[in-house]
Structure 1
């Protein structure tokens, strides 16, 4: 059953023309009306056109560089454990990636509001400069605090400016095809997550760590330049809402349940992205194969992000709940008893597929329950909660591994992560049921 009930309308706030079409961007559909007044503002989302698809393509280019490289941190985790930071514990090294993801997501509290007020390029241009600078500076790092400042803090701040913008701007152009548009955007980051680990591992072996990071910086700079040229902001700028209204969306039960699910899920969902290569080495994989497991994970994720486009037909919340429960099941049924490299590779692809569906649908679901001019702020608020728990998730899993040792530690990582993702799935299901109840009440 689709999570978009049929509504008997002719004209809605977002310009649906067909009788029975649901409006994915609002919870308050208008009843049938006849009006000849001209539309106010830029009009309904076009759901296509040259500018719309160029914006999607530009967002995919920037996602390839930014989020794709973020998804490859497991390669750096393994490299640092045996090279520059060999004197540090796994949980200490994981803090670098954790700070990075915390700033990436929680920065949405600020970047989402700035996007609504000033448009995409006011954030994307400085974000591209800072991101490239962080990679260049990381190439010179030798001490733990230097990696933390450059690859953790600076990388995270730059990522917040880029990521929260590229997941919000396509929603200004698409309504009924929103899941498809977001699936294409996140496919770019999935391809990046597939290619970066292999490229980084090979480059480090050939030209060393320093020049590897510089080459990555130049590639990212090219992707950012293309993205900035292609992306277009559609809606007019508006004055940022007062800070006192920042948490106002949390008064809405559907949004509150949805945001809570993301917060809990973030404690666990990215655990394999950090520890898959280390687990592979425990099972006897070669260093190259261990690095490639992140690519297997992201290859599956790339396919999953395209599958997320089916949310426009099957229901975005329906598909999101299914993918979330699948992630929980895979963690408990495959990661916990894992004892050979073949199982690990199978887990990598299947888990990546499920995560890909999940991450591509989150912005589309938020847009479905938000007004267009609030999408940036609401996406940012959701990712702000995600960032807070992301700060703790990887270090918690690293501490479990450090305290219990390789075999037992990896098993309990799966137990902890599987339970957290399962709870998140139940909260999304509750939000989906609440959404359906409210829409039926309106009709």
Structure 2
């Protein structure tokens, strides 16, 4: 639901302003967690944690990408990286906190506590967020077209008694233009298709380590405890928090497009080589678990960086007049991968008789393929190699 919501609401947010959609997304987010406390059947959770929570994230995500781009020019990628990194830090800490709470209260109590905490956090965020008004929206909402003012060429300096009153031509109030969901010029640009196809393919391998790593650990270390089995996922989220900030700073210095290619390529290489080699040399359990933690740290650092680079790369390639709309259009490219990527990995694992080598080659291979496809967009806009872009 996040890609669909981002595409649908991103355009509306650019046209009508962010604050009303921040309220809508926040209310829907809190309701999804609160109603989960009263869910008793699987289909209840599909509605609350799937439909409602996914749609609320789809409403809020384009805003989180677009707001830093409004206020920062030189450090746009760094600012966006810090904002998006919050989701990684929150995901890692939330897993630890919920695990601790479940030892002292019921699942319903945990959901109620979580919804109360989110009311406070989202309320503070709403107060602190401030949107920067764009000239095109201000003109569209203005009651009169001020550009129609015509000042007499004989008028003297302002403040003089002889200044003539300007002749102002009043026109009918302008209304907001009808929402145009798709920019046809983008679909005629091969750079857009290079970026879109690159993200579509790369996302197929993005979630595979995060979802399959506990199962992989169980297969390599059957006697491991549940807490140690899920710890690498938490570590990967914390590493992603650090990675998105550092990679954002790197993008400001070396260029967003260059950094996006590097992040996708290293993410793929990490899976193809490091994940593929874990436990293949007769190592003991401690060494195997250490390699798993090393893989979680390295993949967590690079694996999710492309998400925080979408807005800076989109602004560099296509301009930054509608950041939320562009972010939504790029996010929806990941819909097939988010929907089918992990399912395809599970099918490969089952059909290959639990062969993890094929799974890692699949997940890393599609990310490398996505990085290579993006090179068309990179060199179409900037043919030179060793240049900040």
What is the aligned residue count?
A: 335
Which structure has the greater CA radius of gyration? 2
2:250 to 291, 310, 314: 310
Residue 226 of structure 1 corresponds to which residue in structure 2?
Answer: 124
Q: Structure 2 matches for 1:288-307, cutoff 5 A?
A: 288-307=227-246
- Structure 2 Cα separation of the partners of residues 358 and 404 of structure 1: 30
Which residue, 193, 196, 209 being the options, matches 1:272? 209
Contact 2:205 2:367 in 1 (8 A): yes
Distance 1:403 1:140, change over 3 A: farther
Partner of 2:4: 106
Correspondent of 2:324 among 373, 376, 380: 376
Show CA shifts across 1:122-176 (max 9, x none). 2111111111111122233332222211111111111101112111121111222
- Aligned residues of 1:198 and 1:291 also touching (Cα < 8 A): no
Cα distance in 2, alignment partners of residues 415 and 305 from structure 1: 24
> What is the 5 A alignment of 1:16-415?
103-236=1-134, 237=137, 239=176, 242-243=179-180, 245-284=182-221, 285-308=224-247, 309-339=249-279, 340-404=288-352, 407-408=354-355, 410-415=356-361
- Following superposition, the deviation at residue 370 of structure 1 comes to 2.8
Residue 110 of structure 1 contacts residue 380 of structure 1 at CA under 8 Å; is this kept in 2? yes
Q: Aligned in 2, Cα 1:396/1:214: closer, same or farther, shift over 3 Å? A: farther
Q: Secondary structure at the match of 1:391?
A: helix
Unaligned runs of 5+ residues in structure 2 are 141-175, 280-287, 385-389
1:437 Cα deviation from its structure 2 partner: 3.5
Alpha-carbon distance in structure 2 between the residues aligned to 1:226 and 1:175 = 25
Q: Structure 1 stretch 353-362 or stretch 220-229: which is displaced more?
A: 353-362
1:300/1:212 CA distance change after superposition, 3 Å: same
Aligned to 1:36: none
Change (3 A) 1:146 1:248: farther
The corresponding residue for 2:370 is 424
Moved over 6 A (4+): none
1:433 to 1:240, Cα distance in 2 relative to 1, 3 A: farther
Cα shift at 1:404: 4.2
Q: For structure 1, which runs of at least 5 residues remain unmatched after alignment? A: 1-102, 439-443
2:277 match: secondary structure: coil
Distance 1:151 1:343 in 2: 33
Aligned in 2, Cα 1:342/1:427: closer, same or farther, shift over 3 Å? same
TM-score scaled by length of structure 1:
0.71
In the TM superposition, what is the alpha-carbon distance from 1:296 to its structure 2 partner? 0.6
Hey, what's the Cα distance between the residues in 1 that align with 2:88 and 2:72?
21
Task: Show CA shifts across 1:28-69 (max 9, x none).
Answer: xxxxxxxxxxxxxxxxxxxxxxxxxxxxxxxxxxxxxxxxxx
Give the distance between the partners of 2:100 and 2:193, measured in 1 at CA. Answer: 44
Cα deviations by residue, 1:210-258 (Å, 9 ceiling, x for unpaired):
2222222222222211111111111243546644634542322222211
SS at match of 2:246: helix
CA contact (8 A) 1:114 1:240 kept: no
Structure 2 CA distance, aligned partners of 1:144 and 1:159? 21
Task: Note the C-alpha offset of 1:332.
Answer: 0.8
**Aligned-partner SS, 1:245:** coil
**Quick one: structure 1 residues 400 and 166, their matched pair in 2 at CA, closer, same or farther if it must change by over 3 Å?**
same
CA separation in 2, counterparts of 1:388 and 1:287? 31
Indicate if the aligned counterparts of 2:85 and 2:242 stay in contact, CA closer than 8 A: yes
Contact kept? 1:194, 1:298, Cα under 8 Å: yes
* Cα drift, residue 400 of structure 1: 3.0
In 2: Cα distance, 1:315 partner to 1:398 partner: 36
Aligned equivalents of 1:400 and 1:140: distance in 2? 36
**Counterpart Cα distance in 2 of 1:384 and 1:174:** 25
Q: d(CA) in 2 for partners of 1:349 and 1:365?
A: 25
Deviation at 1:177, TM superposition (A): 1.3
CA RMSD of aligned residues (A): 2.1
